[in-house]
Every structure is written in structure tokens, then in C-alpha cells.
A and B are shown apart, each in its own frame.
Chain A
Amino acid sequence: MPTYRTASEEETIALGERLARDLPAKQLVLLIGQLGAGKTTLAKGIVMGLGAAQPDEVSSPTFTLIHEYGSSRRVYHVDLYRLDEPREAQTLGLEDLFEREAVVLMEWGERFPQLLPAERTEIRIRTMTGEEREIQVTRIAQSNT
């Protein structure tokens, strides 16, 4: 289970860019961490690493729920923060997204485990002191569940 440390937003973006290289073409990536941990910041790096958009173009999807980036290589950035019930999340058509040949980055998705595919990557971001973050990557394969 690889664990990384970053000391600034720039380093978190750079790490995201590197992590993107190891992601399968079709994968759900849960970004897990409290408010202000840097989930959207890491998403900026991953989206850039996948060649779908520049970091400045990646903003928080909290209100809009789903952002889409890229054309040939599509990346979805989903945020379920403002949803309370699995029923609400179900109306988003997430299962449809998971079937596509695309990377789906998801914030606050761990609150609705019943809606998620078993095979996924989980990235946990912990706030250390100040700008420092500890970032832990776990790949969960189908057979583990």
C-alpha cells in the first residue's frame, strides 16, 4: 500500500499527475479525506496526468455533481458531498459512468458503498501539519471482496 507525503498544493498536483500513469483506462478512484484535505487539488493532478485538462480548469464539482474533462480520453469528476440519501445518488446514473472506458474520480463516494463497483482505487488524504499531506493509495481488486 504505497503512502506518499506532499508539502504543498503544487506537490499534491504533481503526485496526482504521477499516480494517473498507473491507473487502468477504466477505473473508479475514490478520493477520501475531510473538508479542505485537498481532494480537488489531487484531482487536478490526476486529470492533468491523464491529459484531459489543465489543473486550473479543474474546479470543485460539489454543486454541479459531475464535471467532465477531455475528449479522446474522458475523465469524470464526481462529488456527492451535498447528497444525503443513496436514493439521490442513484438518480445520477453512476452505474452508467462506471461502465464507460473512463477514469471516474469521486469525492465523498465512500458514503454510498452500495453504489460503487468492488474493483476500485481508494486514495486517502490526511492533513498533517500546515500544508503537509499524507496520501495513501489502495488498489482493490474484484477478488478481495
Chain B
Amino acid sequence: MRILGIESSCDETAAAVVEDGEKILSSVVASQMSTHGKYGGVVPELASREHLRAIVPVVREALEQAGARMNDLAAIAATAGPGLVGSLLVGLTYAKSLSFASGLPLIAVNHIEGHIHAVILEARRAGTPVEFPALALVVSGGHTHLFEVSGDGRYRLLGRTRDDAAGEAFDKVAKLLGFGYPGGPIVDRLARYGNGTAVRFTFAKMKGNALDFSFSGLKTAVLRWVQARDLEAEIAARRALVRTQAHPTDEEWLAATPQDTLDLLASFQQAVITELLTRATASANRMEARSVMISGGVACNSGLRAAAELARLPCPVYFPSPGLSTDNAAMIAAAAFPKLRRREFAALDIAAQANLTLA
């Protein structure tokens, strides 16, 4: 059974065709398609107007690549939230009109549920299915959530960020140090040249839910570290590098980044990873998880992947491949598959919901 998935909750316009919740026949992401080369897919493709321009060619491309026609499909799935209403509306409205015109059922998917299903899809495909109950850590520029996931598609929120998302902290630290925006992936690349224990960051003890995250204080601590030193010249040098060079190499970055700053990057990254894995481990223990899934854009972070391998997690840890970690529509089509089997269809008057919650 083939499902066409459509995703437009934030920057990317994406469409994909997935068979039986595990076989990706096509997965097209517009910001990569339209800006590849010029910006390398990092320029924000914003809001409704950009999505409007992309939605029809992206869906057509996904169907063509899959060799699928509308009447080969079993359902049409789209992200209904959370996200920007203007952006969500483009994908959801297009999915509704396709559903209306074709008579195929419409399935509404929560974006965060999609990130979780990116992992479930790949694990099934690899023949090592995720065992439930599972702990899901969804960690990206916009989200940092811990969910208990049961086999029958129920979710329970265990913890989340109270201020900045982990990916946001990476990007803001990168920007304040002159690495451009979004620079999270550059922090990851350069962190391995630094000493992760050189700068000690202390986390304030949090009141309330011990499984909640807070990254705002860490960001401010980095800012204070920078302000306490005379880094103007090196920051200016890196900003100049970003202006003249679209994608500086490690060597070019290293030439513009003294060891102290590399140590800061490594220590910052280490602090974020420790926060993520400490709470993930505590959650997995508390709910007696049989698997841990880590997904979302920050799941691409090589330091996090390496640390998760070494962490004393009580069960197997699953990461999606990088292409399925960031926003895509294959995860939306995959998340729709169990709903199709349960015949959990959406009415054509369903509204996009900016603050849609999963649990």
C-alpha cells in the first residue's frame, strides 16, 4: 500500500511516496532542489509563498520518481502541525484537494510523530524493528522532546525544552562566534579538534519536571565566555570567511579559529550531548524502554551519535540516516501507514494547527 506524504511545516516543501510504511519509493525536498549549489540548501525557504511555488512541482516529482500515479495510491498524508500556519496550510490544503479530487482518504500527521517514524521505517527496512515501548528523543532546531512510544501508536510526553531547542543553541552559539547561521553542523565538525572538558559549564538545577531540558543558560554562558575575552578579531575573520566562501573547509575554519575557541566548541557540544543523553537515559530507565530512538536534525550530530553508542543505555539505540533526520516527507508517509491500517482518516475540513501537540 502506497502513501503520498506531504510536509510543509517550516522551511522545506517535501513530498514522498512510501510503500507499506517502510519502502521509500521517492523522497523530494524542495529547498535542496531549488537552491542546491548556490546555497547548499541552507537558506531558509520561508513560509507560504515559497511553499506555494514549490508544492506542485515537488509532489509531481515525487510521484514521477516513484513511478506512481494517483490511482496507485492508498492514501494521501500531510503534516497538520505543529509549525507555521501559513506554511502548513499550503501542504495540507493541497493534500485535501488531491484527496477530494481522487477520492483517496486523507491522513493528518503530527510533524513530531513523523520524526519518530523516520526511525521506525528504517529499522523495519533493516530487519531490526524497533521494540516497544520505546523512548523517542526528538531533537532539532525547533524541538527537544522526550516521548514514551507504545506499539499501538500512543505517545506520552515525558520531557521537553522550557526555552531553546538543542539545535537552536548550536546555531546561536555558532552565529555569535562568527560561524554563520545555521552553524550547528560546523560546531560538530570543529568540536573534534577541541578538548571537550576544557571549559566547564554548570547547569542550574531545575524545578519541576526533572526530565525537562533548558539550553538558554548554556547559550548565555558561552556568550559570557566570549565577552570575557578579546575575540573580536577572530570572530571578524570568520565572518569574513563566511562572506567570501560559501562552504569553508575544516582547514580554512581551523586557520581562523584558535585552540581556545575549538576547546569552547567541543566543551559546549559535550555539555549539550550530556544533557540530552542524561535525560534520555533517565527516561528510558523510568519507563523500562526496550529501544531508544533519536531523531530530528540534531540526530545528525556525530558527537551525539558517538556518545549514544558509549552511553550506558539499557537498550538498543536507533538513529535515522542523515537524510531522514532533517525535515522530509517520507517520515510523514511512514507515520501515516499505521493510521491507514486503523482507518484513522481526517475530514476534509481539518485545520492546520500551529501548536498541535502529540501527547
Contact = CB atoms under 8 A, between A and B. Distances in A.
Nearest to A40: B163
Interface in A61-77: 62-69
* Dominant secondary structure of chain B at its interface with chain A: loop
Interface stretch (A17-25, A85-93, A111-119, A137-145): A85-93
Nearest to A66: B84
A67 B165 CA distance: 13
A138 B176 CA distance: 28
22 contacts: A35-B220, A36-B220, A40-B164, A40-B216, A56-B209, A59-B160, A59-B161, A59-B164, A59-B165, A60-B163, A60-B164, A62-B141, A62-B164, A62-B171, A63-B168, A64-B142, A65-B47, A67-B355, A68-B354, A68-B355, A91-B47, A91-B49
Interface of A: 35-36, 40-41, 55-56, 59-60, 62-69, 81-83, 88, 91-93
Contact of A91 (B50, B161, B181, B220): B50
Contacts of A68: 85, 354-355
A70 to B, nearest CB: 9
Contacts, number: 82
Interface of B: 10, 44, 46-50, 82-86, 140-142, 160-165, 167-168, 171-172, 176, 181-182, 208-209, 212, 216, 219-220, 223, 354-355
A47 B83 CA distance: 19
A60 B86 contact: no
**Residue from A63, A66, A69, A81 having most chain B Cβ neighbours under 10 A:** A63
A63 B141 contact: yes
A56 B208 contact: yes
Contact of B162 (A36, A56, A83): A56
